[in-house]
A and B are shown apart, each in its own frame.
Chain A
Amino acid sequence: MRRAGLPWAGVLLGGLFAAFLLLPTLVLLSRGLGADFWGTLRSPAVLDALRVSLWTTGMTLLVTVVTGTPLAYLLARREFPGRALLDALLDLPVVLPPVVAGLGLLLTFGRGGLLVPGLELAGVSLAFSPAAVVLAQLFTAAPFYLRAAKAGFAAVDRDAEAAALTDGAGRWAAFRFITWPLAFPFLLEGLVLTWARALGEFGATILFAGSLQGRTRTVTLAIYGALDSELGPALVLSAVMVVVAFSVLLAVRMLAARRDRLDG
């Protein structure tokens, strides 16, 4: 016998779970945007954290695009020995706990690390520098771009490229005017995800880059640090992060919709 109407137990359970998932964000928004939002937002600790986060994630995106795009292209288009293995291993940082990533970076690029002789010779010292923050973000976030870009390059119609090449276009021109535009929605989605992940980086940064206001203390580190003393800056920065996260979701949705239209 089938009962008509709403499955009440399901609605109740589902509703409770949805509320559980949404409530903390709403609380953060209401607490963070309340009272002294603008005053706290203009405090040096908050502004420094936002500035450090914007700078470092910007650098991370730049390095990701410049080095990640060729790698994704090779992985998507070229056959070479060990490609499948490399492809799988490059996803490793995505599933690795961030603090493990931080320890790995420390032991590789830190002062006692594997690459120390080379780095010292080059006069480079990474520890506690904004460059260390970028490395931590790059390590944990760039694989998101790699994945998306690979999918993008794989989805591009090879006939269109072949046609451009037979029409006399060079390989660079074919890439620039055919492959790149067709793969672009994928790349952009990957970039947005990478940025969101880089912005949220915490575990690797605190271990590998330390925490100093205006230099290496990103938004997430500042939130954690502020919890020790006064809640204000933590609430305001958290509210900002909620708004940013919502925008990221919106952007990804819109990009996906546009991509689907292009595909269809």
Chain B
Amino acid sequence: MTRMTLLALLLLSPSAGAASLTVFAAASLTDAFTEIGRAFDARTGHRTTFQFAGSQVLRAQLESGARADVFASANDAQFTPLLGRVVTSREVFARNRLTVIAPAGSAKVRSLRDLTGPGVRLVLAAPSVPVGEYTRRMLAAVDRSGTYGKDFAARALRNVVSEEGNVRQVALKVGLGEADAAVVYASDVTPTLKKTVRVVPLPTRFNQTAAYPLGVVRGSVSADAARAFVAFVKGREGQAILRRWGFLSP
């Protein structure tokens, strides 16, 4: 191969002017964002890497100076406090709903009411985790309605055997059959998880809507690429991928 062809290859390859992009994203976005990242990289030639974790963990890391270009959170509680100081923009790009899951092979939990059954092992996310916050709001809504008795939330919370650090850990506990029930996002019931879990009906009037904000991190060394990523997520292709993984439009 001659030097000329090598040069031509270099110029034609998409890595010309490519940036390395680091995206901090909520654990529930793991599958959707991984696919979005691949599509975005193929389109732009950038190289996107992700760190998926509970939004509260990512927020703590960003606050203590972690380097990232984009932050996507699963709720506002872990995002708005950063606005202005750590993150320069805020756009809601997706919504999500809660769902109750139980192991496919177990009949212990068939309805929401069963969450308070004796000996039911319920796994939730910790209150600082976005899905943990939405879950407690959902339980409070059930309480207010009085449908299942006044102290439904308190009785359900007494059945909690573990408080996990992100929603995927919560889903895993049911997937493995260790827990009798858990509350996760509708989008967490991925084709993989569907093989081992069963969805328990959650009345719409109790359900909560999660709103996902994302923004460019202040001091990003590739701010242009970061803005392009945000636009891609909000664009037709990004939205289509999110929809495919069970998210709702913003």
Tell me which of B60, B161, B177 contacts A228 (CB under 8 A): B60
Selected contact of A211 from candidates B57, B60, B162, CB within 8 Å? B162
Please provide the chain A residues from 217 to 264 with a CB less than 8 Å away from any CB of chain B in the complex. Answer: 224-225, 227-229
Residue from A212, A227, A229 in contact with B162 in the complex, judged by beta carbons closer than 8 Å? A212
Q: How far is B178's CA from A106's CA once the two chains are assembled, in angstroms? A: 9
Q: How far is the CA of A207 from the CA of B126 in the complex (A)?
A: 15
A209 to B163, CA, bound (A): 11
Q: Does B82 contact A (CB under 8 A)?
A: no
Check: B54 CB closer than 8 A to any chain A CB: yes
Interface size of A in residues (CB-CB distance below 8 Å): 18
Q: Are A110 and B162 in contact (CB under 8 A)?
A: no
How would residues 118 to 159 of chain B score, 1 for a CB under 8 Å from any chain A CB and 0 otherwise?
A: 000101001011000000000000000000000000000000
Asked whether A225 lies within 8 Å of B178 as measured between CB atoms, the reply is no
- Chain B residues near A82 (CB-CB < 8 A): none
Query: Given A128-B121, A216-B162, does the pair A111, B57 have CB atoms closer than 8 Å?
Result: no
Chain A residues whose C-beta falls within 8 Å of the C-beta of B56 in the assembled complex: 228-229
* Least CB distance, B44 to chain A, in whole angstroms: 33
Chain B neighbourhood of A209, CB < 8 A:
162
B56 (CB) vs chain A CBs: closest residue: A228
| B10: Cβ under 8 A from any A Cβ | no
B76 at interface by CB-CB < 8 Å: no
B215 partner residues in chain A, CB cutoff 8 A? none
Check if A58 is an interface residue, CB within 8 A of chain B.
no
Check if A228 sits within 8 Å of B126, measured CB to CB: yes
Contact with B along A99-129 (1 / 0, CB 8 A): 0000000100011100000000000000110
B95 at the interface (CB under 8 A from A): no
- Give residues of chain B (25-67) contacting chain A, Cβ–Cβ below 8 Å: 54, 56-57, 60
The CA-CA distance from A14 to B121 in the complex, in Å, is: 53
The answer for the CA separation of A209 and B165 in the assembled complex, in Å, is: 14
**How extensive is the interface on chain B, given as a class?**
20 to 34
Q: How far is the CA of A224 from the CA of B165 in the complex (A)?
A: 9
Q: Is the CB of B176 within 8 A of A225?
A: no
Q: Is B168 an interface residue (CB 8 A)?
A: no
Task: Determine if B178 and A110 form an interchain contact, defined as CB atoms under 8 angstroms apart.
Answer: yes
Is A93 interfacial (CB 8 A cutoff)? Answer: no
Choose from B57, B60, B176 the contact partner of A110 (Cβ within 8 Å).
Answer: B176
CA distance A107 to B54 in the complex (A): 25
Given A106, A112, A210, A227, which contacts B57 in the complex, CB threshold below 8 Å? A227
Closest to B78 in A: A228
List, in ascending order, chain B residues with CB within 8 A of A128's CB.
Answer: 121, 123, 161-162, 178-179
Cβ-closest chain B residue relative to A116: B177
Interface residue? B234 (CB, 8 A): no
Cα-based distance from A103 to B204 in the complex (angstroms): 36
Contacts of B173 in A (CB 8 A): 210
CB of B121 to closest CB in A, whole Å: 6
Given contacts A128-B121, A210-B173, contact A228 B178 (CB under 8 A): no
| A230 nearest CB across to chain B (Å) | 10
Beta-carbon contact of A229 and B128 below 8 Å: yes
Within 8 Å of chain A (Cβ to Cβ): is B164?
A: yes
Q: Is the CB of A228 within 8 A of B54?
A: yes
In the complex with contacts A128-B121, A128-B162, A212-B160, A228-B176 CB distance below 8 A: no
Q: Mark A127-160, 1 if CB is under 8 A from B, else 0.
A: 1100000000000000000000000000000000
Using Cβ atoms and an 8 Å threshold, which residues of chain B touch A111?
Answer: 176-178
Task: Report how far A110 CA is from B173 CA in the complex, Å.
Answer: 10
Contacts of A210 in B (CB 8 A): 123, 161-164, 173, 178
A208 closest partner in B (C-beta): B178
Instruction: Identify B165's interface contact among A106, A110, A225, CB under 8 A.
Output: A225
- Are A127 and B60 within 8 A (Cβ)? no
Please give me the residue from chain B that is nearest to A213 by CB atom: B163
Q: Considering residues B57, B129, B176, which has the most beta carbons from chain A within 10 angstroms of its beta carbon?
A: B176
CB closest residue in chain A, given B162: A210
14 contacts between A and B (CB under 8 A): A106-B176, A112-B176, A128-B161, A210-B162, A210-B163, A210-B164, A211-B164, A212-B160, A212-B162, A213-B163, A225-B126, A225-B165, A228-B129, A228-B165
Listed from nearest, the 9 A-B pairs whose CB atoms lie closest are: A210-B162, A128-B161, A228-B56, A112-B177, A127-B178, A228-B128, A111-B177, A229-B128, A128-B162
List 6 additional A-B contacts (Cβ < 8 Å) besides A213-B163, A216-B162: A112-B178, A210-B173, A211-B165, A212-B160, A228-B126, A229-B128
